[in-house]
Amino acid sequence: MKTYDLIIVGAGPAGITAGVYAARGRMDFLIISLDVGGQAAWSGDIENYTGYQFISGIELMEKFQEHMRQYGMAFKEKEEVLEISGSGNLIAVKTDKEVYQCRSLIIASGKRSKELGVPGEKEFKNRGLTYCATCDGPLFSGKDVAVIGGGNSALDAALQLIKIAKHVYIVHNARDLSGDAIMIQKVRQAPNVTVIDDSLVVAVSGGRFLSGIKIRSASAERDLAVQGVFVEIGLVPNSAFFPGIKKNSSNEIIVDSRNRTSLKGVFAAGDVTDVPEKQIIVAAGEGAKAALGAFKFLATGRF
Does 135 qualify as catalytic in the annotation?
Answer: yes
Q: Which of 135, 176, 223, 256 is catalytic?
A: 135
Coil/strand/helix, residue 104: strand
The side-by-side arrangement of strands in the sheet containing 228-231 is 129-130, 228-231, 144-148, 167-171, 193-196
Other beta carbons less than 10 A from residue 271's beta carbon: 28
- Cα–Cα distance for residue pair 22/266, rounded to 1 Å: 15
Q: Which of 132, 180, 197, 198 is catalytic?
A: 132
First to last CA, the chain: 25
Does 136 qualify as catalytic in the annotation?
Answer: yes
* 124-129 contact pairs (CB < 8 A, 24+): 124/204, 124/206, 124/209, 124/210, 124/229, 127/206, 127/208, 127/209, 127/210, 128/206, 128/209, 128/210, 128/211, 128/227, 128/228, 128/229, 129/204, 129/210, 129/228, 129/229, 129/231
Q: Which of 5, 136, 180, 198 is catalytic?
A: 136
- Cα–Cα distance for residue pair 7/30, rounded to 1 Å: 5
CB 284 within 8 A of CB 13: yes
- What is the helix (H) or strand (E) element at residue 182, kind and residue range? helix 181-189
Helix count (H) and strand count (E) of the chain? Answer: 6, 19
Angle at 21 between CA 44 and CA 85, to 5 degrees: 90
Does 102 qualify as catalytic in the annotation?
Answer: no
Q: Which residue numbers are catalytic?
A: 132, 135-136
